Amino acid sequence: MPAYKRQHFLPVAYLKHFAANAITEGRKGMIWRNDGKEQRLVPIESQCFEEYHYSKQNAEGAEKEFHGMEGGYSACVKKINRNESLAPAEFGSLLLCAFDFYLRNKIHENLTGREGIDAYHFRTQLFWRHILLQRPDGEITKADIERHLAEHWSLAVALAPVGNLFLTSDHPSVWMCVDDEKRGLHLLSLPLTPTHVLFAYDKRMVTFTYSLMVENDCLTLNQAQLFNARQAVYSASDLGEKQREIIKTSLGEKSESKYETENHTWRTGLAGLGPEHLFSCFKRCES
């Protein structure tokens, strides 16, 4: 196979933390894959890729663009798994990865007529301007973005309740709106390991209260993975019959994505998270 032909829209650096054998690390690890039809162990490196997904003209350049971010992500998750504290810069790196795993995903159909890396760059620009900063006009600098994130966003890592495990999927970064009257991205969840989940949140909308989740939280997060998934969910363990039936029903009813990137527009969506489904470790801010 030509070098860099296999281009992952969800990196191995992400999925390897859900390896079925915790001792096995890296690209050669195995993971449980469930597409609603069957559940089987598969090599991690065989998942979530497409030939020349980002670029055929400059495949090596596209690969290198993501390489540094993926290495930093994996180092952060290893520290979290070892109960080690992260430096502020590492939290910032995790936040960028949580945004980026969404923006680079194959869920977004490329209708631009250009390469996937170009469509990804376009989505990224629209995200910073229209979704995060909500500034349709005027110049936006890197300093503007950093200032906004420092003032209004925070990160937290929560733990699964004893006896529960988090699922993940081929589209694991879930973007949520918690207030229909103030439409926007308010909360993001990203499973990091079978027992850790990362939350990024707008401090003007919600406040994180404590790190241990309850069983209903775990169910909501796993349902969010089913909602977001393109084709499959992944787990570190063989799922029971009840869970397999839920996945079969959910993935079987899934319609084609309407997330489209065109030359001048990007169509995406946010999961609505009403008050009855807000995670127990969060509370809504007063209006």
User: Across the chain, what does the average pLDDT equal?
Assistant: 92
pLDDT digits (tens, 9 = 90+) for 7-20: 999 999 999 999 99
- pLDDT reported for residue 24: 53
For 159, counting Cβ atoms within 10 Å of its Cβ (0-12 exposed, 13-18 middle, 19+ buried), the class is middle
pLDDT digits (tens, 9 = 90+) for 207-237: 999 888 999 999 999 999 999 999 999 999 9
Measured on CA atoms in the order 266, 269, 270, 272, is the torsion positive or negative?
Answer: positive
Write out the two tokens for 259. 């997330």
CB of 227 closer than 8 Å to CB of 185: no
The yes-or-no verdict on residue 149 having pLDDT over 60 is yes
Write out the two tokens for 194. 């079978």
Total Cβ atoms within 10 A of residue 130: 13
Cα-Cα end-to-end distance for the chain: 56
User: Which range, of 19-28, 89-98, 143-152, 250-259, averages the lowest pLDDT?
Assistant: 19-28
The yes-or-no verdict on residue 65 having pLDDT over 60 is yes
The yes-or-no verdict on residue 23 having pLDDT over 60 is no
Question: Which stretches of the chain are assigned E, i.e. beta strand?
Answer: 6-8, 30-34, 39-43, 49-51, 109-110, 153-159, 168-169, 174-177, 187-193, 196-202, 206-208, 233-235, 260-261, 266-267, 271-272, 282-284
- pLDDT reported for residue 211: 86
d(CA 50, CA 7) in angstroms, rounded, equals 6
SS3 content of the chain, % helix, strand, coil (to 5): 40, 20, 40
CB of 105 closer than 8 Å to CB of 171: yes
Total Cβ atoms within 10 A of residue 80: 18
The model carries a pTM of: 0.94
d(CA 160, CA 248) in angstroms, rounded, equals 23
